[in-house]
Structure 1
Amino acid sequence: MNIQEILTTVSSKAGLDEPTTEKAVGTILSVLEHEAEGTRVAELFGSIPGSLDLARQYDVMAVQPAGGSGGGLFGSLTSALGGALGEKAGALINGISQLRSTGLDATQIRQAGTTLIQQAKTAAGPDVVNEIVESVPGLKGHFGL
């Protein structure tokens, strides 16, 4: 299973267009890359060709140009808060802000996250994915996992 197959499944199940699905999946993968450091996250990325590239394309910790995030005041505040809290807490906060800036609501974010995690379990195995998810406090609440 590669990242394109996962994108197709997430798009279908979450009812999102391709560009929005790509951004949502890339953002969630970026959150995992930053937040789950020290776990088996490298194993996850190794099991899904193209996933690490997508995570880095939508890097939640990349510096956004002024006014470029599309998140308005909320986006500015969460980016500032994320930066102040450090990388671990900031990645999740920035990821949620990025997803909301695309116009996704909480239900769509949870559907995309749940579908992505189900597909990741198929590709990398449930033990790998469960360890990663358990290592990221707050992930379950925001992504419905």
Structure 2
Amino acid sequence: MDAHSIVTIVSQKAGLDQAVTEKVDGTIFSVLEHEAEGTTVSSFFAKIPGADALAQKYDVMAAAPAGGGGFLSSLQGALGGVLGEKTGALINGVAALKASGIDMAQIQKAGTTLIQQAEAAAGPQLTGKLLDSVPSLKSHLGL
């Protein structure tokens, strides 16, 4: 199963627009890419074609657009810099998900469905190992 198929399934099961779902899935993949251990995340992305491209498209650590963002963006950048990349990725990811116009219940539904589909594609052991290395993401997704 590839990333596009996962986006379609999550969109249907979570009742979200396809474009919003792509952003949610890409953001979660990006947080995993930045926070999880290298070989585990590489193995995970190898099992889900297109997941790494989606993570890069919605990179939570990408610089904010010039002239935009305001106070919240500045605060996120400062916190990410002070706390390090791993914590910064999660802070930026959660902020990006909330900014996409969906509430925490929708984020959790989409996240739970994404993880179920990832387990089907990459296997429950690899997915579990990846999530165990990012416990703060698990709590934000209600896992």
* Superposition TM-score, scaled by structure 1 size: 0.92
Render the CA deviation track for 1:110-133: whole Å, top value 9, x for unaligned: 111111111000011111000011
Query: Structure 2 matches for 1:36-115, cutoff 5 A?
Result: 36-66=36-66, 68-69=68-69, 73-115=71-113
CA contact (8 A) 2:47 2:121 kept: yes
Residue aligning to 1:23: 23
Runs of 4+ in 1 over 3 A off after TM superposition: 66-69, 72-76
Q: In the aligned structure 2, how far is the partner of 1:75 from the partner of 1:14?
A: 28
Which structure 2 segments of 5+ residues have no match?
A: none
In structure 1, give the amino acid aligned to 2:118: A
The alignment partner of 2:63 has SS state of coil
CA contact (8 A) 1:2 1:48 kept: yes
Q: 1:119 aligns with which of 117, 120, 135?
A: 117
Q: In the aligned structure 2, how far is the partner of 1:34 from the partner of 1:50?
A: 17
Residue aligning to 2:7: 7
The alignment partner of 1:6 has SS state of helix
Render the CA deviation track for 1:11-59: whole Å, top value 9, x for unaligned: 0111110110111000000000000023511111001111100000000
CA contact (8 A) 1:47 1:123 kept: yes
Report the count of equivalent residues: 143
* Superposition TM-score, scaled by structure 2 size: 0.93
In structure 1, give the amino acid aligned to 2:62: A
Q: In the aligned structure 2, how far is the partner of 1:26 from the partner of 1:7?
A: 9
Q: In the aligned structure 2, how far is the partner of 1:87 from the partner of 1:48?
A: 24
Q: In the aligned structure 1, how far is the partner of 2:131 from the partner of 2:65?
A: 30
* TM-align CA RMSD: 1.4
